[in-house]
Structure formats: structure tokens, C-alpha cells
Amino acid sequence: MTQLELIFLGTGGGRFVTITQKRRTAGIRILSEKLNIHLDPGPGALVHSLNMGLNPQKIRAILVSHSHPDHYTDAEVLVEAMTQGTTKRRGILAAPHSVLFGNETCGPVVSKYHQQMPENVIELKTGVNFNISDIKITATEARHTDPDTVGFRLENRDFGDIAYSSDTEFFEGVGKQYKGVRLLLLCVMRPSGKPWKGHMTTDDAIKIVEEAGPEMIVMTHFGMQMIFSGPYREAKLIEQRTGVPTTVASDGMRISVGEEIRVRRMERKQKGLDDFVKSRK
């Protein structure tokens, strides 16, 4: 069976986590036999790719959800890596209008020079979809302080669908975009009772999970208040309220999605530790 692997190069987000690197902000690498995608390459994406033995020159697509530094900072240098130092036009850069052209509040954040390097540049809006190998990727709606922000849903008939919310506040229908996914990655910036406009709290995550009904939840992209509050306690709250298995992403964590969903946390032991296995129904 085809298997997908997600490698969490970074699990932090927000200004203070970014500038302190309390948790890394390097984004997520998505790999299979046919895929090599870097999702939201924030500060440290290049360095932590190299440190974890992930050659950035093998990347075939870069997905950027919006134009805030914790999501885009290393995008240009990864474009240079993907195009083998700008010597070959290859790969895909997919990003919303703010990243490519700018809007009334932010951007552009990837230069015209770098946009000329990939073989294909895709401007993302809610509902836009495209294929990378045997994966259909659809941009989903998000509501954030960058009004052009999108999330992502990746569909494949072999290992099932996975999705990534990016930064968003709760709105009616946000969870319906993710119905039927096996694995839902939620950017839960803040703990329960600590709302911040344009961002997700544990309370919001619960409502999204109730709408979506995924097989498993992964919390990631933690702000400083979430880190201080304790994301494992917040994950337990989500699981108790929704009945959906919920795990907390950690820097270096790997998730394989195949017949089973298997989580390995690399920081506990040098050789890794399987700490969660969810069998496909």
C-alpha cells in the first residue's frame, strides 16, 4: 500500500515563539515514493531539513499558506534549492495572492526573481485545486489576519485524505471542508479560554473536529501561551470532548499514513519511539 510520511520540522508559531525558537518554525515535509513537498517553510526550514538528512534539492513542490514570517521566511532559499541553484526550471510553488503579489495588509514575500525559477507557479484561492503526481491538492478557506490565507486538503485513494488548517479563527463551515479526512492537522495557537483574533484556540479546535469528524487529530503551530499552558492537557480536552484521538506534534516527529497511522517522536530516543498507532477501519 502507498504510504505517506509527514515530518514535523517545526511545531511553533506566532511572533514570540518564532523569535525565541522555543519550538522550531521550519514547517512540514510531506514525502512518499512520488512526493517531496515542503509545507509552510518558516525560519529554519533549510537548516532543519539539512540537519534531519532531508536534501532540499529533492523538493518538488513548496506550499505556502500565507504571508506571515513563521510560514514563509525560507521559501525563497528552498525555491533556489528546488531549482538546483536556479540552474533548472523545475517544481511547483503554490501560494496565495498575498505571498506572490501582496495585498492591503502584507506581502509580496516571494520576489519576482524567485517566482521565475519554478516550472509552475500557482496562485491559490479557496477551492483552487491542482495535482502533484497522484495527489489532488485543494486550497481550503481560512480566516486570518492575512485575508488571503488558505489551508490545504490532500486527497489520495490509497492512503486516504489529510488536511492542514493553517492559521484560522473558527467560522461556520470551516470543519465541513475537512469531512472524511483521516488525519487533520490543526494550527492550535492558543489554549482554551485565550482567544486571539484570526487564530485558533482549543475551544475552536473542538468545534472544527465536531464538524469534520476526522480519524485522528494532530495539534501543531503552538504559540507561547499554548506552550506555557501545556499542549498535552489541551489535547486531552479535545479528545475527551470529541472522542477523536488527538496527538501533540513535537519537533522532529514523524507520522506515517498507510494502512495504519503511526506516530514516532524522535526526541525521546535517538532511534525514535512509536508512541501511537491508529489502524485504518
Q: What is the largest CA-CA distance in the chain?
A: 52
Residue 50 CA to residue 180 CA, distance in Å, equals 34
Residue 142 above 80 pLDDT? yes
Confidence (pLDDT) at 272? 38
For residue 7, which of 186, 227, 265 has the smallest C-alpha distance? Answer: 265
- With bands split at pLDDT 50, 70 and 90, how would you rate the model's confidence at 280? low
pLDDT tens, residue by residue, 5-14 = 999 999 999 9
For 74, 108, 183, the CA distances from 213, given in Å and listed in that order, are: 33, 35, 10
Confidence (pLDDT) at 273? 39
CB 216 within 8 A of CB 245: yes
pLDDT tens, residue by residue, 149-191 = 999 999 998 889 999 999 999 999 999 999 999 999 999 999 9
Please name the residues in contact with 22: beta carbons below 8 A apart, sequence gap of 6 or more.
12, 16, 224, 227
Q: Which domains does the chain have, with CATH numbers?
A: 4-279 (3.60.15.10)
pTM of the entire predicted model = 0.94
Confidence (pLDDT) at 2? 72
Residue 274 above 60 pLDDT? no
